[in-house]
Amino acid sequence: MTTMRVANDLAEVMVPIGYVGAAIAGACAIVAAVAVIRSSGGLVGGAVGVWIVGALMSFTASFAQQWLPLILACASLVGMLLIGGVVRAIMSAAGAGRTNDAAADALPRAVSPTAPAVVSKPSLATKSAATASIPVVS
């Protein structure tokens, strides 16, 4: 077999793998955008990690001089991360996603006058067994 024939035979296999990789990368980019909107850092990292695998698969199409799958994979991640960041900024500026429970937890709770006040000493003010036996010289 000649080198050109081997290259053509491999191109028939590599181009579909490249397009499948671009589709996987696009789906992971969408998941990453939703995770950015929900501020879920772990899910963003996982989605981008799987996106890398899809982008590497899309790179196989370049064996047959087909660069479109790789360009689509890269553009999908960049576009979706930008969209996710913009939507997240708009939602946080508008106050969406905040509940009254979260606001109530942030406020200090009122103490009823009949309830006894519980005061705890700071941990630095208590004496430990190690410092109790040290004489103080003045």
Banded model confidence at residue 98, pLDDT cuts 50, 70, 90: low
Report the chain's mean pLDDT, rounded to a whole number.
82
Cα separation, 103 vs 97, in Å, equals: 11
Domain count, the chain: 1
- Quick check: 80 and 32 in contact, CB under 8 A? yes
Burial of 8 (0-12, 13-18, 19+ CB in 10 A): exposed
**Closest alpha carbon to 79 in 26, 41, 18, 21:** 26
Express each pLDDT in 29-71 by its tens digit: 999 999 999 999 999 999 999 999 999 999 999 888 899 999 9
pLDDT beyond 70 at 1: no
Asked if residue 46 belongs to a domain, the reply is: yes
pTM of the model: 0.65
**Closest alpha carbon to 31 in 84, 72, 75:** 84
Asked if residue 87 belongs to a domain, the reply is: yes
Residues in the chain, total? 138
Asked if residue 119 belongs to a domain, the reply is: no
Domain of 34 in residue numbering reads as 3-97
Asked if residue 69 belongs to a domain, the reply is: yes
Q: Which of 1-5, 13-17, 22-26 has the highest mean pLDDT?
A: 22-26
Cα separation, 81 vs 37, in Å, equals: 9
Asked if residue 103 belongs to a domain, the reply is: no
Asked if residue 117 belongs to a domain, the reply is: no
Asked if residue 62 belongs to a domain, the reply is: yes
> Distance from first CA to last CA of the chain, Å, rounded?
97
- Quick check: 35 and 43 in contact, CB under 8 A? yes
Asked if residue 71 belongs to a domain, the reply is: yes
